[in-house]
Amino acid sequence: MPGVLVWIETSEGKIRKVTREAAGAGAKLAAALNAPLCAVLFNGKDLLPELATLGFAKVYTAEGPGFEKYSGEAYAEALAAAGGMFGADVFLTGATALGRDLSACLAAKLDAALAIDVTEIIYDAKPLKVVRPVYSGKLLADVELTGEKKVISLRPNVFPVAEKPSVSPEVVPLSALETAAIRAEVRKAIKAAEGVLDVTEATIVVSGGRGTGGASGFKVIEDLAGTLGGAVGASRVAVDEGWIEYAHQVGQTGKVVSPVLYIACGISGSTQHFAGMGTSKFIIAVNTDPDAPIMEKADFAIVGDLFKIVPVLKEELLKVVR
Amino acid sequence: MNVAVILQQVPDTEAAVKPNPAVPGAILEEGVKFILNPYDEFAVEEALKIAEKDGGEVTGVCIGPDRSENAIRMAMAMGMERAILITEPAAVEADLVTQGGILAAALKTLSPKLVLSGREMIDSQNDAAAAVVAHKLGIPHVLAASKIEINGDKAVVVRDIEGGSLEIETALPAAISCQKGLNEPRYPTLIAIKRAKNKEIKKMTLAELGIAAAPSKSRVTALRQPQARAAGVKITGTPEEVTGKCLAWLSGTAKVI
């Protein structure tokens, strides 16, 4: 019997949004396969009530010191064990930093087909078919997963979150699990500055590029992002110039974001930048150059000086948002 | 310390890539410039720095068509000594896990203490190679390293995650993929580029590596251009005017506010 297994990824004790999205996609897939949808949760028993709204038949829990910190080897072991218990053949994770790591470990372990950063699943295709961006998002690849087992990581903010009536899943402890010695061990988690929202997590991203002119120019970008409850992004130029940290870079050599709204300020919009934000639902561009590539790709392009426009936009938004 | 690097040749980032209508999953190669995967440059640079410290050799492994030789020569011009290239279509077209097994078999013949790769291949946008190879070799791995510190039989690696980073201590040998920020890749000198032409690239077959042909677990059935974004609005005016229009659009069309 087939089945679908989702990894519950948590961050600071909370279930990540991409996990809810994976649960939503998993439910559709499970329905198409007429198979159960289950999940694996590591060291997070207090999250069980919240999981009841995500539509899982069973939640396998792995507790203990071996699972306190992320380990690709140990986590893959647990997922493989849980999958074996009910015959899972499709494994879903978010295409987050650790989700990508885990999916690779798991695919290698299960000798499975691996599809990374998937943006669409053709649920009823036989064999299962997925779509993923390739060549910096310049092309899409239709990928047929013919392997008996399939491991799929989903691009965050692309799939709708699970909406299920509250049904408490059966909780199955993975008690007999023997964790192998962890050879690559997390010693320390280093947090970015307090209160800074990561670009990949945000539903709104406000980005600055060459047009910000320097580190001080990012102030207006940060103000607008703050007003909207969004994250601050940046183009490669801004990062290479040292105006803002690399963690903010969006694009081919930075992070891939897929927010509901992406506001590009003073960014020309190279192919490489587009690779990192091309799947945003809505794009607003503010640029003095009406012919910049971003102006053709934006849903709403404003020709003008970002230093004059963005502060006014922020003030007006403050009135609406509050 | 001997360090081996996993290499890949990819189309230049600026290249306009188009699907090849005759070959599902392939692009039209005419007029496309191919380069060493940009992330692999960080891996080669780091390998050279580590090997230079205590006198080791840097080697490479690559799966790809014959033209991949140019990418390998680029790494050799940076300082890599020799490489193994596997050009068989069965390897080039294999799924990620199978390719990891092939790379692992080739790496075994080089017995490195450290395996490095780029964080991601920019053509297929796959970033699993280091983890899969590590599993096949039975060694630990760390992905997306922005700092690597070798300390005897251990390495301390910093890897980026959303909202911060993790400091990971790993036993060696290990496989580590390299992220931007790790180092500044060197530019090869003209003499080094010339010398690279005489370095050894050993072509190996799957049979020589002891890999039996198996059906691929995944297959790209088509490459296609994404649907073009619908043409947007372009406006100009005073800050107050454009802000008013923008707010109307945000609430009316985008329904974001």
Residues A23 and A148 in one domain: yes
Q: If you measure CA to CA, which chain B residue comes closest to A197?
A: B163
Contact A112 B168 (CB under 8 A): no
Residue A227 DSSP label: H
What's the gap in Å between the CA of A318 and the closest CA on chain B? 11
- Among B124, B159, B170, beta carbon nearest to A134: B124
**Tell me, what's the pLDDT at A236?**
96
- Among B17, B222, B243, beta carbon nearest to A138: B17
Residues A137 and A213 in one domain: no
Q: Is A179 on the interface with B (CB under 8 A)?
A: no
Q: How far does CA A307 lie from the centroid of its chain?
A: 31
**Domain-located, residue B218:** no
Residues B238 and B156 in one domain: no
**Tell me, what's the pLDDT at B132?**
98
Tell me the chain B residues in contact with residue A190 when contact means C-beta distances shorter than 8 Å: 158, 164-167
Residues A156 and A235 in one domain: no
Contact A25, A31 (CB under 8 A): no
What's the gap in Å between the CA of B57 and the closest CA on chain A? 24
CA-CA distance, A263 to A298, in Å (whole number)?
Answer: 9
ipTM of the complex as predicted = 0.95
CA-CA distance, A210 to A267, in Å (whole number)?
Answer: 6
**Domain-located, residue A182:** no
Ranges of chain A with pLDDT below 50: none
Exposure of B214 in the CB half-sphere (CA atoms within 13 A): 18
Q: Which of A131, A154, A173 is at the close of a domain? A: A173
Among residues A18, A31, A13, A171, the alpha carbon closest in space to that of A102 is found at A18
CA-CA distance, B35 to B13, in Å (whole number)?
Answer: 9
**Domain-located, residue A233:** yes
**Tell me, what's the pLDDT at B230?**
83
Residues B70 and B128 in one domain: yes
**Tell me, what's the pLDDT at A179?**
65
* pLDDT tens-place values along chain B, 257 residues long: 999 999 999 999 888 899 999 999 999 999 999 999 999 999 999 999 999 998 999 999 999 999 999 999 999 999 999 999 999 999 999 999 999 999 999 999 999 999 999 999 999 999 999 999 999 999 999 999 999 999 999 999 999 999 899 999 999 999 999 999 999 999 999 999 999 999 999 999 999 999 998 899 999 999 999 988 887 999 999 999 999 999 999 999 998 88
Calculate the dihedral angle through the C-alpha atoms of B9, B136, B179, B220, rounding to the nearest 10 degrees: 50
Residues B233 and B152 in one domain: no
Residues B190 and B235 in one domain: no
**Domain-located, residue B216:** no
Residues A74 and A142 in one domain: yes
**Domain-located, residue B133:** yes
CA-CA distance, B198 to B76, in Å (whole number)?
Answer: 10
Contact A111 B181 (CB under 8 A): no
Residues A210 and A145 in one domain: no
Number of structural domains in chain A: 2
**Domain-located, residue A87:** yes
Q: What is the CATH number of the domain that holds B14?
A: 3.40.50.620
A residues 246..265 contacting B (CB < 8 A): 246-247, 252-254, 260-261
Cα separations in angstroms, A306 against A220, A274, A311, B217: 9, 20, 8, 49
Residue from B135, B139, B247, B251 to probe the interface with A (highest A Cβ count within 10 Å): B135
**Domain-located, residue B215:** no
Cα separations in angstroms, A79 against A1, A26, A89, A177, B31: 17, 15, 11, 11, 45
Contact A108 B131 (CB under 8 A): yes
Give the tokens for residue A83: 């999958």
Number of structural domains in chain B: 2
Residues A281 and A228 in one domain: yes
- The secondary element (H helix, E strand) that includes residue A245 is none
Q: Is B21 on the interface with A (CB under 8 A)?
A: no
Per the structure, the complete domain to which residue A288 belongs is given by: 204-321
Q: Which of A132, A155, A173 is at the close of a domain? A: A173
Per the structure, the complete domain to which residue B16 belongs is given by: 3-203
- Among B96, B162, B222, beta carbon nearest to A107: B96
**Domain-located, residue A278:** yes
**Tell me, what's the pLDDT at A168?**
86
Among residues B40, B135, B142, the alpha carbon closest in space to that of A97 is found at B142
**Domain-located, residue B115:** yes
Residues A247 and A297 in one domain: yes
CA-CA distance, B149 to B158, in Å (whole number)?
Answer: 9
- Among A146, A185, A299, beta carbon nearest to B168: A185
